Structure 1
């Protein structure tokens, strides 16, 4: 018994020493306030301020109906460049569009198929003379249905008995109609063809009359004829018989979006835009 007690007394200091060494080798990690640490991290990386959405500016462009196809293609291209600008087109007869602007209808730019309509708006101080210019030229042609059997090669052939209806734009409001009247008057045919005349509200309606067979021949621009596979050009009207077809463009003074209007005005004069007009048959004046 005594030997066993002595042996137990010898183990006590050994166990104590082992515990002391173990305690010295263990590192106690300090307590971390995870909530405070999270707040410090958030304050070091502040959330970005919300971006203010870009306001879209809508431009209204009153344009001659004969420009429809070219301007729609230009619209697609331009709006990929000026993403904050939306183009709205108001197509129609130049004379009717002129009257709309005179009566206060909203418009930012005006593209006419005749210089007289632009000149009237400049004279009435609705368009600044310094912010308008001739952009394009065109030519007058006579078209017939693509399956027509009537031989038409000049204005005189429009008097043939088999030609029952001749379509033109209303001369007072449609420049193409005004040019047609000039050409027929020049050829001394205007009075004799009156009973056969079918008048359209714009040049595109005249084209439609020929496409549907509601007229046997009609006066349209070359550019309009090229858009349709239902008509064919019978002949080009003698350019000496009517005033040159010019397309002026101008910025309406009452526009509320002067910068955007001027940007598009300038773009339409760029090579990129003019190439589109040329593709559709227009000519760029030199």
Structure 2
């Protein structure tokens, strides 16, 4: 079966738009899409005249867009490695860096689970031929997955049948459409597809699945960006994240 491309692969073209007064540009990990869109709506309602524009994709790809000149005011990553790269590239202000959410990696299968996968060990079944995961070279969920599977002694099995996604939503789509036998995504993404994918097992990762955020270092950064970051960390902001399955850091 041919793997179709993810139609909304990162939607990063909007990052090429110039910033204007009263606009906060937020560039973030794909797994934050639904939660951050709601946060943006709430912030706009409380701050008439301010517009929060969001763009999403793999954290590494989003960061590359920023370092190549795409305007952004806030960068939210799905792992510390991408944010470390942002700090090293002087793309963000390290004094504003803070962890704001946690997640976990889960093994998911299509809702009808045709291969009868009930645990990580079942991926060794001869009938299992396609397993989706984020590309570890550029996608945080892939890095978390690889580290967890290496520790569990299951990496070689998965590697032999891997179908690489360019972000977590692409991996989720492959599983939901039944184009793969199983996949590794964040628990928050799996929850969005309840009834269309089935969570088989939570995967213990060597390091916590933590999300850092920081203000982008650039001339013309929106003055409202710091206030939006404060809102993200506030009780109201955390309540929105909680509704989408994220946990306080």
TM-score category, normalised to shorter length: 0.7 to 0.9
Shift in Å, 1:56: 5.0
The answer for the alignment partner of 2:106 in structure 1 is: 141
Q: How does 1:62-101 map to 2 (within 5 A)?
A: 62-101=27-66
CA contact (8 A) 2:24 2:222 kept: no
Which of the numbers 141, 155, 164 marks the counterpart of 2:129?
A: 164
CA contact (8 A) 1:94 1:113 kept: yes
Shift in Å, 1:244: 1.1
Shift in Å, 1:196: 1.1
CA contact (8 A) 2:23 2:222 kept: no
Deviations 1:112-131 (A, max 9, x none): 00011111211222211111
The answer for the alignment partner of 1:32 in structure 2 is: none
Q: Which runs of 5+ in 2 are unaligned?
A: 1-19
Which structure has more relative contact order (CA 8 Å, sep 6+)? It is 2
CA contact (8 A) 1:181 1:190 kept: yes
CA contact (8 A) 2:108 2:199 kept: yes
Deviations 1:184-235 (A, max 9, x none): 2112222233231101110000000001001110000000000013101011
The answer for the alignment partner of 1:235 in structure 2 is: 201
The Cα RMSD (Å) is: 1.5
Larger radius of gyration: 1
The number of residue pairs the alignment matches comes to: 229
CA contact (8 A) 1:62 1:109 kept: yes
Aligned: 1:246 with 2:210: yes
Which of the numbers 271, 275, 280 marks the counterpart of 2:235?
A: 271
Shift in Å, 1:67: 0.5
CA contact (8 A) 1:93 1:201 kept: yes
The answer for the alignment partner of 2:141 in structure 1 is: 176
Tell me, in whole angstroms, the C-alpha distance in 2 between the residues paired with 1:71 and 1:182.
27
Deviations 1:19-63 (A, max 9, x none): xxxxxxxxxxxxxxxxxxxxxxxxxxxxxxxxxxxx852221110
Where 1:267 maps in the other structure, the secondary structure is helix
Shift in Å, 1:256: 1.4
CA contact (8 A) 1:155 1:187 kept: no
Q: TM-score of the superposition, structure 2-length normalised?
A: 0.88
Q: TM-score of the superposition, structure 1-length normalised?
A: 0.77
The answer for the alignment partner of 1:108 in structure 2 is: 73
Q: Which consecutive segments of 4 or more residues in structure 1 shift more than 4 A?
A: none
Q: Which runs of 5+ in 1 are unaligned?
A: 1-54
The answer for the alignment partner of 1:185 in structure 2 is: 150
